[in-house]
Structure 1
């Protein structure tokens, strides 16, 4: 590096520095990097939201996680959406006719466009729905078409019938006809779930294997469109979709999602003005709970440990019960998370669904697998005798978010302390890898979660049927399968009160068999910047909706 020599050179440097400072001060708003506490002029109408895990897929028929669903729902709209209270409202639907027997829906679609200018047609739904149940696609969410009651869904998913036999038909460009095997009371609510969202066939075909991996391979018919995205990205940028049928009602210019897994780093970003919405955990909750920007949000996610029953020892019921009863759930909820989460002594969460009696499902059901350290030791001793061992070691896989790791470390300590001779080793990884490992059965214990897709206990109970892709533990019970099958499309499906009681019986079987070890029902402690309003939080389906969000 050369040195300036002499006064003339020094004066030149000072003059250039002054001009640079003056230019920056007067025209700083032209620099997108000039954020300031308010996000800078270029970003003042963009809401910036923290995620603690990456988006796994932007393909509505492939995605399986809440983070992916949230972004998909911001750029894509199905037949229905949900309002602030969680009720289904017409979206792509202009009008609907229902048959008297409740088994045929005829939808007339709005005059809507994709972000590439193409019209949204009935075939976009037919194509997407057939993809969902096509065995060649192998969607993890194929089961939800059967849950919706769509004719022939199960037979197609199992390879017994062709996808063209699915009960969905494009009568013309704007008329979609859906045939159901049985009336499904929550059918319209299900239509707001991303697995049922449309896909433009021509665009999908042109994108090929790259579909959903970049802004160039995604189009939108929803309030926003993707402008920056790649798989496993830590930042995802959305802009207002001017082609959206209801664009006049969308006040935001865009959304920016930032993946920040560390809670301290997230709060620093929030305090620096780089985030408008951030999640808190642990000690942060106590620190900020009196802040006017703090809020608690009820969530439907159930966190639990899944034991792989194909692993030696974990097929033993006494061992599973020992582990399930050995840890303090209250301490996890109240001392570790502190975010409004509650201990889970159940397989079906609170505030999920209301029964024929008008009461929340949990109000009239028992609780199960509550912590009982003395009983846990008894079950552990019985298991050791049955298995002929004095010591056992298992590895628990855990996603690499701060809260998940904190909970896992506590579980490890509790289990090892209360069940001497049982060792739990932890292995952390990104959520996507953890899910893949569990789907493949490549694990022993897994700390996992499930969020409700629709407001009915079946959204949880269907997971543990024989062969379900979400039955990570490979448990099987004929009596249980029969209850669930009948509740979906048999005699029980036609008697709402009997169905409700049968679902309670099914939950009891799952808990008595310790198919899972429930830990807690998630609550969210959230910071929302003053001036940001209209974010809709939901405990069922899509977690957050920003269509009606404004920034003052």
Structure 2
């Protein structure tokens, strides 16, 4: 069974020496264990912390790890990175991707069961719009420039203001075929497209939000494993399982609650009183907690 990149996102937040509780305290067990017809109502919620707020949820503006991690929980691109680093299928079926003999044309075939949170299908036009938006110099995407300029056909001229974003070397021959023209062969191109700047965006939704796009959960439209349902500046945020996600049956968490806690000792205290399910240890905390039954090394 394919494991989605959101698992890696959680691990990235927890990587290191941690204390991990055995239970989140959010389980609802069956009232009658003898009733074989009654399904378990177990609610799987993970409560963790972050040392900082999310600077942005706009995929083309992210320049930090926190933003990237959580953008990748609510969006899905052509491919994802599985545990262990393998590049696997996302919206595109990796096994069906076609590459021209000279290595400059990639043809991606998209799955037809992927949809946005509002029920709209995820189409090749969403990738065309998302990539064009990343190369528009008016939008100020630092990594869009770094990752695309001189690589995607016409991208360098677009960033220089000599061509329009609509002239970028991407096209949608039909709703589920996305074609990319490169300036030259790029052997590592498939590893590039897991970056946030290569995500699809629903053009109608983005343009309807205007300057408010991505500033709050109401201004974000998910096509990934989770959807953001709350976000309070400097306090925290919550993502919940996106039932519209094409692979929702394999998303085993119902929600992730993230609390912004900047001080390491405060994070540990929050864990000890049961407000957090896991906490990363630092400095003297490692030595002080090595004998705890909750202590784990996630390296």
CA distance in 1, matches of 2:228, 2:61: 18
- TM-score of the aligned structures, taking structure 1 as reference length: 0.45
CA gap 1:89/1:147 in 2 versus in 1, 3 angstroms: farther
Unaligned runs of 5+ in 1: 1-35, 299-552
CA distance in 1, matches of 2:24, 2:103: 54
Q: Deviations over 1:451-472 (max 9, x none)?
A: xxxxxxxxxxxxxxxxxxxxxx
Report the counterpart of residue 439 of structure 1 in structure 2: none
Segments of 4+ in structure 1 off by > 6 A? none
Report the counterpart of residue 294 of structure 1 in structure 2: 295
Q: CA deviation at 1:75?
A: 0.7
Preserved contact between residue 289 and residue 295 of structure 2 (Cα < 8 Å)? yes
Query: Secondary structure of the equivalent of 1:227?
Result: strand
CA gap 1:37/1:155 in 2 versus in 1, 3 angstroms: closer
CA gap 1:192/1:292 in 2 versus in 1, 3 angstroms: farther
CA gap 1:102/1:296 in 2 versus in 1, 3 angstroms: farther
Report the counterpart of residue 110 of structure 2 in structure 1: 109
Q: Is residue 86 of structure 2 the alignment partner of residue 92 of structure 1?
A: no
CA gap 1:147/1:189 in 2 versus in 1, 3 angstroms: farther
Q: Deviations over 1:456-514 (max 9, x none)?
A: xxxxxxxxxxxxxxxxxxxxxxxxxxxxxxxxxxxxxxxxxxxxxxxxxxxxxxxxxxx
Q: CA deviation at 1:233?
A: 4.0
CA gap 1:167/1:37 in 2 versus in 1, 3 angstroms: closer
CA gap 1:280/1:108 in 2 versus in 1, 3 angstroms: same
- TM-score of the aligned structures, taking structure 2 as reference length: 0.82
1:357-396 correspondence to structure 2 within 5 Å? none
Query: Secondary structure of the equivalent of 1:207?
Result: helix
Report the counterpart of residue 280 of structure 1 in structure 2: 281
Q: Deviations over 1:129-186 (max 9, x none)?
A: 1111111111122223336821121221111211112111111111100011122222
Asked which structure has the greater RCO (Cα within 8 Å, sep 6+), the reply is 2
CA gap 1:235/1:163 in 2 versus in 1, 3 angstroms: same
Report the counterpart of residue 477 of structure 1 in structure 2: none
Report the counterpart of residue 264 of structure 2 in structure 1: 263
Report the counterpart of residue 135 of structure 1 in structure 2: 137
Q: CA deviation at 1:277?
A: 2.7
Q: Deviations over 1:234-274 (max 9, x none)?
A: 22111110110001111111111111111111011112222
| Root-mean-square deviation (Å) | 2.0
Q: CA deviation at 1:295?
A: 3.8
CA distance in 1, matches of 2:160, 2:295: 48
CA distance in 2, matches of 1:37, 1:114: 30
Q: CA deviation at 1:291?
A: 3.8
